[in-house]
Structures are given as C-alpha cells and as structure tokens.
Amino acid sequence: MNLADLIRRPPQWRRSGGPMSDVVFSSRVRLARNLAGMPFLTRCTETQLSEVAGLLRGALMRLSMGGETLYVDLAATDAVDRQLLVERHLISKQLAETDIPRGVAIAGDETVAVMVNEEDHLRVQVLRGGLRLDACYGEIRRLDEMLEGQLSFAFSSRFGYLTACPTNVGTGLRVSVMMHLPALRLTGKLETALRAARDMHLAVRGLYGEGTEALGDMFQLSNQVTLGRSEEQIVADFRDEVVPVFIDYERQARKALLEHRRMALHDKVHRALAVLRSARLISSEEALQLLSYVRLGLSLEILDGLGVEDINELGLVVQPAHLQKLYDKRMSSAERAEARAALLRQRLGGQGAVD
C-alpha cells in the first residue's frame, strides 16, 4: 500500500454508517503519549526530533493495526499529499504545516492513524463511523498496551501521562464525535446548542479540528479535560450523557422542521440536489453545504434513490487535494471548481454529466 492507493477507495468506516449515523458522522478516540527521557517536541534539537521519528516509525511498523500499515514520512511528501491526509482526517492541519521530521502510520482500513511529532511524540487515533466510542476505546487500549510493550512513556505517579499541553496531562485521552447538525442551524438553534456544549466543558471545533471552520454543518464535539478522571469514566460519560443530548437536540430540530417548515425543508433539499446535479462551477464549501442538505434529505426520507454512503464519499472526494489526486494534476481553484462540478454531475447522474 502507498499513498496513491488511498485515493482509489474511500475508507470503509466512512461508508458503513454505524449507530446513530443520522446525526453522528464518526467517533474518534485519541491518546497523547511522549517518550520517557526525551524532551517535549518544542525543546528537542533537530537531532532528537529525527531520533524520535526514527524510533517511533520502527515501533509503529511492528504494531498490528487494521490491515497493512502504511508509514508516511511527511517531510518527503508534497503539500497536496499532506492535504489529502488532512481531508481524510488521518493527520491534523498542524502536522501538515510544520516542517520538522514527522510522520504518520496509517492502518490499511484507515481506522487507525498514529501521528509522530505532532504536538506530542505520539498521537494515536482510532476512528469509526457512527457512534462507536466503545469500539474506538477498546482498540486504542489494545494499541496502547502494545506500544507500552515496546516503548517507555513519560509518566508521573501524581499526574499520570505527561503531555506537551497541560490540558492533555493525565490519561492523555480525548474522546470526540463528529456530528452533522444541519437542522439546528436551519432552525437558528445552533448557537444555543454550541453554547450548551461549551458550558459542559466540551470543545467545539470545525470539520478539520482545532482552528478550522464548520463545513457542511459538521461539528466536532470533544471532552476537554483529562486530568483526574479514569479513562472508562470519560468514555462512558461522553457516550451516555453528553452525546445523546446533542443527538436529541438535532433530532428535535429535524422534527420541528418537518412539522412546521415542511415545504421550506423540502425546497432546500431538492434545490441542493438539483444544483449539485447541474452546476458547472462549484466551490468546496458550497458543495459540502449542499451535500449536507442532501444527507439530511436522505435521513428524513425526503429523497430516495441515493445512498447516504455515496454522499459521505462525495463529501471527501470533492475536496481540493482529493480532486487533484483523482484527476492526477495540479489545479487552480477555478479549475478545481470546474472539475468538482463535473465529478458531482457524473456521480449524481446529473444533467450534462458527459459534457
């Protein structure tokens, strides 16, 4: 497997739906770990950074993850490849943009990605479609134990695992879900819901995590504090107390739309699909927004004849790096807008699909 293979197929987890996938797009658990006896990244010399990267690459390639493991040395990739990995949620924007020795180990099925030299020496993430935090957590426990067998991590008996940012000290664990909240936005209740999330000490982020904007009505909600609580507690609270509240908010909003603004909702959904099937130029932002309405329309059975898994896949392939890899050339923003529109017409059976 190499990087070029990635573009040929979407990750299976993204197509498979999963529990509560009408609202919960994906679940993610990640661990932050640092090597004992080695400074945090910001205090490493160039030599030490390379040493960490080399050491961890070796350890990760010996790890058994989902399918064959691909290790990508990010210093040896170009910007489009790194952007491709960001779009697939396999690395963070931050890791894409620094220029220190760094890399990522990716499981063949893309349910696991381990970033090396991001903010901590190691950032292990497990991803699944729908609300599947237990599965994510089980897998990350397994990976953590296997890594502990090979490596020695910075740990304090008083604080727990030590991390570069104090908010991660303790378990080093962060639990998050990517939620699709179009109805909350359409009913004007999004800000209230997100304020409630912040009051519950959750971090609310955009489609690509910290410092990114919400695209296609996707919002990442995650726990913010890991110190002083057991890992099991964090996962259980998040799964049983936190996420259901927001699922309920969104479902109530969808019900309200169906009951009180039925025609306006149908209008939005049908127009969205019509524009996706007929545009000749379309930006990534607009495409994601319209796909969001189509996804909502499928979930509420306003539309049929389309699979939500195909819509989820389109949400990935319309993005800039994916488009350029698919067409195998560098494209300007204007060229991408044209290629994106052609791709959408082709995939959605639109008018003029074979222009």
Q: Which of 87-114 are b and which e, b meaning 16 or more Cβ less than 10 Å from the residue's Cβ?
A: bbbbbbeebbeeebbbbbbbbbebbbbb
Distance from C-alpha of 224 to C-alpha of 31, rounded to nearest angstrom: 13
Q: Does residue 341 bind a copy of itself (CB under 8 A)?
A: yes
Pick the closer one to a copy of itself by CB: 237 or 338. Answer: 338
Pick the closer one to a copy of itself by CB: 156 or 351. Answer: 351
Distance from C-alpha of 15 to C-alpha of 318, rounded to nearest angstrom: 15
Tokens 């074979």 sit on residue? 354
Per-residue DSSP letter, 228: T
Q: Does residue 260 bind a copy of itself (CB under 8 A)?
A: no
Pick the closer one to a copy of itself by CB: 80 or 274. Answer: 274
Q: Does residue 183 bind a copy of itself (CB under 8 A)?
A: no
Distance from C-alpha of 226 to C-alpha of 223, rounded to nearest angstrom: 8
Among 281, 285, 330, 349, binds a copy of itself (CB under 8 A): 281
| Closest to 184 measured CA to CA, from 171, 175, 193 | 193
CB 196 within 8 A of CB 181: no
> For the purposes of burial, counting CB atoms within 10 Å of the CB of 304, is it exposed (0-12), middle (13-18) or buried (19 or more)?
exposed
Q: Does residue 300 bind a copy of itself (CB under 8 A)?
A: no
Distance from C-alpha of 62 to C-alpha of 238, rounded to nearest angstrom: 32
Smallest distance from the beta carbon of 29 to a copy of itself, in angstroms?
A: 41
Q: Does residue 266 bind a copy of itself (CB under 8 A)?
A: yes
Smallest distance from the beta carbon of 266 to a copy of itself, in angstroms?
A: 4
Q: Does residue 4 bind a copy of itself (CB under 8 A)?
A: no
SS3 47: helix
Q: Does residue 229 bind a copy of itself (CB under 8 A)?
A: no
Segment interacting with a copy of itself, rule: CB under 8 A, options 20-28, 30-38, 157-165, 261-269: 261-269
Q: Does residue 349 bind a copy of itself (CB under 8 A)?
A: no
Segment interacting with a copy of itself, rule: CB under 8 A, options 36-44, 241-249, 278-286, 308-316: 278-286
Give the count of residues interacting with a copy of itself (CB under 8 A). Answer: 19
Smallest distance from the beta carbon of 187 to a copy of itself, in angstroms?
A: 17
Q: Does residue 274 bind a copy of itself (CB under 8 A)?
A: yes
What does the angle CA 112 – CA 117 – CA 121 come to, to the nearest 5 degrees? 80
Pick the closer one to a copy of itself by CB: 229 or 270. Answer: 270
Smallest distance from the beta carbon of 318 to a copy of itself, in angstroms?
A: 16
Distance from C-alpha of 306 to C-alpha of 267, rounded to nearest angstrom: 17
C-alpha R_g of the chain: 21
Give the binding site for a copy of itself (CB under 8 A).
Answer: 263-264, 266-267, 270-271, 273-275, 277-282, 338, 341, 351-352
